[in-house]
């Protein structure tokens, strides 16, 4: 195996050459997954997710699975967002609904109000006037963030946007200017995780 370091725009990246037919998938044991008990004791990043009236149970399950992968502290299910246990949530969460803490609120405003009082920075993930493009935002490791993800059709409700400290927007170039909520969650949660773990 040959290891070569290339300097790309000031960032040194290791590039592996001659790897064809030399890679092997890791076994479940080699992945060294924590048990449910170990995971619950693991320190999480200062991030919670507020689901604003999400109608698809598959989307809810996907958010749980992503939250498990990237150490999200808690998921708030609000309004019509169905809470676990439910077989359709489990289908995509694959058990992450048991590892990630969650709470049901009748309205997103209940979760926002409480988290705001507790010192969380409230962030809408939405296309609004004066939104900040996701790639331009670097989270402050000393702060705690509550991200609001909106309904598949209506997005984040205006009442919730009015209570946000700011909104982040995922830049897009296509004709739809719209992403599935589970895709948006994955992009944004990874952005926060990757920078808060540096």
The answer as to whether 5 is a domain residue is: no
Asked if pLDDT for residue 198 goes beyond 70, the answer is: yes
CATH value at residue 99? 3.40.1280.10
The answer as to whether 157 is a domain residue is: yes
Question: What pLDDT is recorded for position 1?
Answer: 45
- Burial (0-12, 13-18, 19+ Cβ within 10 Å), 11: exposed
Decide: helix, strand or coil at residue 20. coil
Residue 74 burial (CB count, 10 A)? 17
| Parent domain of 123 | 35-196
pLDDT band at 15 (very low <50, low <70, confident <90, very high): low
Q: What is the pLDDT of residues 23-77, one digit of tens each?
A: 899 999 999 999 999 999 999 999 999 999 999 999 999 999 999 999 999 999 9
The answer as to whether 156 is a domain residue is: yes
Instruction: Report the distance separating Cα 102 and Cα 76, nearest Å.
Output: 6
How many domains does the chain contain in total? 1
Question: What separation in angstroms does the CA of 190 have from each of 47, 66, 93, 122, 194?
Answer: 11, 9, 17, 17, 6
The answer as to whether 69 is a domain residue is: yes
Question: What separation in angstroms does the CA of 23 have from each of 14, 32, 138?
Answer: 16, 19, 34
Q: What is the pLDDT of residues 173-189, one digit of tens each?
A: 999 989 999 999 999 99
Asked if pLDDT for residue 136 goes beyond 90, the answer is: yes
Asked if pLDDT for residue 7 goes beyond 90, the answer is: no
The answer as to whether 161 is a domain residue is: yes
Question: What pLDDT is recorded for position 21?
Answer: 73
Mean predicted confidence (pLDDT) in 115-137: 98
Question: What pLDDT is recorded for position 22?
Answer: 84
Question: What pLDDT is recorded for position 49?
Answer: 99
Asked if pLDDT for residue 3 goes beyond 70, the answer is: no
The answer as to whether 2 is a domain residue is: no
The answer as to whether 22 is a domain residue is: no
Asked if pLDDT for residue 4 goes beyond 90, the answer is: no
Who has greater pLDDT, 18 or 158? Answer: 158
The answer as to whether 6 is a domain residue is: no
Mean predicted confidence (pLDDT) in 102-130: 98
Provide φ and ψ at 92, rounded to 5°: -100, -25
């Amino acid at each position: 195996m040959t290891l070569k370091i290339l300097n790309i725009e000031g960032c040194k990246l290791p590039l592996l050459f001659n790897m064809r037919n030399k890679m092997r998938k890791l076994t479940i044991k080699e992945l060294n997954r924590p048990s449910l008990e170990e995971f619950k004791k693991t320190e999480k990043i200062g991030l919670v997710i507020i689901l604003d009236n999400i109608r698809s149970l598959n989307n809810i399950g996907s958010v749980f699975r992503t939250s498990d992968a990237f150490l999200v502290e808690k998921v708030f299910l609000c309004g019509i967002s169905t809470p676990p246990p439910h077989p359709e949530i489990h289908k995509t969460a694959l058990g992450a609904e048991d590892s990630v803490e969650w709470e049901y609120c009748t309205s997103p405003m209940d979760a926002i109000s409480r988290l705001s009082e507790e010192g969380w920075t409230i962030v809408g993930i939405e296309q609004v006037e004066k939104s900040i493009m996701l790639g331009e935002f670097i989270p402050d490791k000393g702060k705690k963030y509550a991200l609001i993800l909106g309904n598949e059709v209506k997005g984040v409700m205006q009442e919730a946007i009015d209570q946000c400290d700011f909104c982040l927007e995922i830049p897009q170039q296509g004709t739809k200017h719209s992403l599935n909520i589970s895709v948006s969650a994955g992009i944004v949660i990874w952005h926060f995780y990757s920078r808060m773990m540096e």
